[in-house]
């Protein structure tokens, strides 16, 4: 198998914004097979219908004999006498058969590119084509049909340029980051991708490591975040980390500490806006009632959850509860008005970190009050 071509991260393509990527994806997806059906020949003559004005009973018509025969009652109509409608003359191009053929042709073309290595990845391993055509298609049914995610405030995410999206983290298993990624991909009018910053554990797990890279995730470090922001990408971060997703169910929707404010320093250095994001519904998918620290140490995990169904029901207990989710993006907090040395000011970083945290917490409480039920 040929090696995939590596696209330099600072290439013009990565700085083109969501609209440019959207055009390329649509262009790639528009390579379809199949031709246009040949038009049906129209009749050479248009016959006068029976009882047309100017034709009285018992008079000899001025037209040809065919029209006279057609006017006689009880005369059967021949195949050539049946008028051809526009639908019969020009069959629809996008019928079920044609759509299936195009999908098959597109799928075969996609497989050929994967087998020959004729596709692009950036310096972080992000595979845009695989994400759009395969990975998002796998996550979308969970997003739309299982968790029934409702998205609010998507217009607060900039249409172009770098921005840092900061969200709460919960749920025992980090599905909230993936659902946030689908929300941005499917609902933002500029068709942008969200590049998540993930913990070290993600990149040491087999299979998960490769899928995370293909989805555009990268290591949660300041260097990678700054490179992404400088290239005009949307970057997602969940500062609570394992403290957020591993907290007990009794502390649901209570934000944990946001670290030392490193994400604020990164945004200040790049002058990127900070968009707070509040996620409701993820806390209840795996109600964590206990933590087996012994098993966690043996497996090398930060915690080993004990829920009402896991591990008691085996693999079936790993199925998340079908809660109803809401993801709301708040108004962005601008950072481009601060001088470059502001990134080294600890008091400013503390104040901005506290402002982001309070905005997320306030929105969580408001969404919880508006929620009718955990599952509806």
Please state, rounded to an integer, the average pLDDT across all residues of the chain.
Answer: 81
Q: Are 338 and 268 in contact (CB under 8 A)?
A: yes
| Average pLDDT, integer, range 49-59 | 42
- Considering the chain, what percentage of its residues have pLDDT values greater than 70? 74
Residue 171 phi, psi (nearest 5): 110, 5
Which whole number is the average pLDDT over 177-183? 97
Structure tokens at 8: 């330099």
CB atoms within 10 A of CB 223: 10
251 vs 284: CA distance, rounded Å: 11
- Say how many Å lie between the first and final Cα of the chain, rounded: 48
* Main-chain phi, psi angles of 52, to 5 degrees: -70, 155
Cβ(344)–Cβ(337) below 8 Å: no
- Tell me how far the alpha carbon of residue 32 is from its chain's centroid: 23
For residue 241, give the nearest of 166, 294, 332, 297 by alpha carbon: 166
Rounded Cα gap, residues 206 and 208, in angstroms: 5
Q: Which CATH superfamily is domain 125-285+320-370 in?
A: Glycerol-3-phosphate (1)-acyltransferase (3.40.1130.10)
DSSP one-letter code for 333: B
Q: What is the DSSP letter of 134?
A: I
Residue with tokens 């949660």: 220
Is the pLDDT at 203 greater than 60, yes or no? yes
Segments making up each domain of the chain, as ranges: 125-285+320-370
CA dist list (Å): 207 to 4, 140, 226, 296, 332: 18, 20, 27, 20, 35
DSSP string, 80-95: GGSPPPHHHHS--TTS
121-158 pLDDT tens trace:
999 999 999 999 999 999 999 999 999 999 999 999 99
Give dist(CA 341, CA 364) in Å, integer: 33
Q: What percent of the chain has pLDDT over 90?
A: 66
User: Whole-prediction pTM value?
Assistant: 0.73
Tell me: pLDDT of 210 over 60.
yes
Q: Is 198 helix (H, G, I), strand (E, B) or coil?
A: strand
């Amino acid at each position: 198998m040929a090696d995939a071509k590596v696209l330099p991260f600072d290439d013009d393509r990565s700085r083109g914004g969501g609209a440019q990527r959207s055009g390329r994806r649509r262009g790639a997806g528009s390579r379809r097979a199949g031709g246009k059906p040949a038009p049906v020949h129209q009749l050479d003559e248009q016959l006068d219908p029976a009882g047309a004005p100017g034709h009285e009973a018992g008079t000899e018509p001025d037209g040809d004999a065919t029209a006279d025969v057609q006017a006689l009652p009880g005369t059967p109509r021949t195949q050539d006498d049946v008028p051809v409608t526009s639908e019969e003359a020009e069959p629809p191009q996008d019928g079920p058969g044609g759509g299936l053929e195009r999908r098959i042709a597109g799928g075969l073309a996609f497989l050929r590119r994967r087998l020959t290595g004729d596709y692009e990845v950036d310096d972080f391993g992000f595979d845009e084509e695989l994400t759009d055509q395969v990975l998002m298609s796998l996550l979308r049914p969970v997003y739309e049909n299982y968790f029934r995610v409702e998205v609010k405030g998507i217009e607060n995410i900039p249409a172009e340029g770098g921005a840092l999206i900061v969200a709460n983290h919960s749920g025992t298993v980090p599905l909230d980051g993936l659902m946030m990624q689908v929300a941005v991909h499917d609902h933002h009018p500029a068709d942008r991708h969200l590049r998540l910053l993930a913990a070290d554990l993600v990149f040491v797990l087999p299979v998960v490591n490769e899928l995370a890279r293909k989805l555009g995730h990268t290591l949660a470090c300041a260097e990678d975040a700054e490179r992404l922001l400088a290239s005009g990408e949307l970057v997602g971060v969940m500062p609570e980390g394992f403290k957020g997703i591993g907290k007990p169910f009794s502390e649901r929707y209570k934000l944990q500490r946001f670290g030392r404010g490193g994400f604020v320093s990164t945004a200040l250095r790049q002058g990127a806006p900070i968009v707070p994001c509040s996620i409701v519904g993820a806390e209840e998918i795996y109600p964590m009632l206990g933590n087996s620290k012994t098993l966690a140490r043996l497996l090398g995990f930060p915690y080993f959850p004990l829920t009402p169904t896991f591990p008691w029901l085996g693999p079936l207990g790993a199925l998340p509860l079908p809660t109803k989710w809401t993801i709301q993006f708040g108004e962005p907090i601008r950072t481009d008005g601060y001088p470059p040395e502001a990134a080294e000011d600890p008091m400013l970083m503390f104040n901005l970190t506290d402002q982001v945290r309070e905005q997320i917490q306030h929105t969580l409480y408001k969404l919880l009050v508006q929620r009718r039920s955990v599952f509806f």
